[in-house]
Amino acid sequence: MADFEIKDLRASVEGRQILKGVSLAISKGEVHAVMGPNGSGKSTLSHTLMGHPGYTVDGGSVIFKGQNVLELEPDERARLGMFLAFQYPVVVPGISMTNFLRTALNSKRGYDGKDKSKQVTPKEFRSMLKGELEVLHMDDSFLPRYINDGFSGGEKKRAEILQMAMLKPEIAILDETDSGLDIDSIKFVAEAVNRMRGPELGILIITHYTRVLEFIKPDFVHVLVDGKFVLSGGPEIADRLEKTGYAEWGHTEEEPKEVA
């Protein structure tokens, strides 16, 4: 059995069914890409997996470490080892990135304000940050700023990957992490993700475009159309989509221009 098993997942938003039975097994060490046209259910998949309250689960299960994570709060899923890099990281005024990162790290370690031995020390925190910042070509000037406040699109996405690197998840979902990024930013992000690849991490990349997959090579590619997988296979599927787009499934949409 795989480490992370999505079985027949069905989910809806505001009464409209979006996911119509999605099954996917991810094991640690693997990189899976889910590709699909606009409106295919990609965002619903990522949000449902992480437990966003705006999405309703209508059926199915997601088994990770012996638990159906669909029954858990988002923070419990995260502490179990899941991570979602947001497509649109939110700006949260009033909370500094430092405070946010430190609290997240402490929560992950089970520090509840009592057992000081579980608390991340300032020294440890700084040294962890330093290494990751370098890889992502970020400087520490953003740390005292409020969460994602005034960050450019590229900075927001890099900050997401920074959080992933700090929290060391076992299953990471990267939701359209490439969208809105210029080619340099994609490379920095890909480099950071590739550094984390290894036997302890399973990755699910959700993307509309094949471009990011040139830098983060997937082991498996799944095509999501209208809430269901229509095709699954190896990386060659990405090449096929690169040429023909989603036309063979009736999606002849104009490819929206990439925004740098």
Partner 1 sequence: MGITAETLDQLQGEPGWLRDVRRNALDSYDRLPMPSKTDEEWRRTDVSRFDPSQFSKLEHLDGQKLVLPSALPEGVILKPLRQAAQEHPDLIEPRLFSLVHADRDRFTALHAAFFTGGTFLYVPDGVVIDQPIIGQHFSHEGGTSVLPHTLIVAGKNSKFHYLDEYIAEHDDEAGYRSGSTEIFLGEGSQVGYVAVQKWGRNVWHFADQRAELQKDSSLKLFNVTLGGRFSKTRVEASLAGEGSNAELKAIYFASGEQFFDFHTLQDHRVGNTRSDLLFKGALQDVSRTVYAGLIRIEKHAARSDAYQANRNLVLSDKAKATSIPMLEIDNNDVRCTHGATVGPVDPEHLFYLQSRGITKQTAKRMLIQGFFGDVLDRIPFEHARRLVEAELESRIG
The residue ranges that bind partner 1 (CB under 8 A) are 50-54, 73-75, 77-79, 83-84, 86, 89-90, 92-95, 99-100, 103-104, 107-108, 146-147, 163, 167
CB of 230 to partner 1, least distance (A): 29
Q: Which residue has the tokens 């993307």?
A: 207
Using the minimum distance from each CB to partner 1, give the nearer residue, 83 or 246. 83
CB of 167 to partner 1, least distance (A): 7
Using the minimum distance from each CB to partner 1, give the nearer residue, 50 or 190. 50
Using the minimum distance from each CB to partner 1, give the nearer residue, 114 or 257. 114
Q: Cα separation of 100 and 166, whole Å?
A: 12
Using the minimum distance from each CB to partner 1, give the nearer residue, 86 or 220. 86
Q: Report the b/e string of 128-143 with b at 16+ CB within 10 A.
A: bbeebbebbebeeebb
CB of 12 to partner 1, least distance (A): 18
CB of 95 to partner 1, least distance (A): 4
Using the minimum distance from each CB to partner 1, give the nearer residue, 54 or 66. 54
Sign, Cα dihedral of 193, 110, 27, 228: negative
Question: Are the CB atoms for 186 and 215 separated by under 8 Å?
Answer: yes
Using the minimum distance from each CB to partner 1, give the nearer residue, 103 or 127. 103
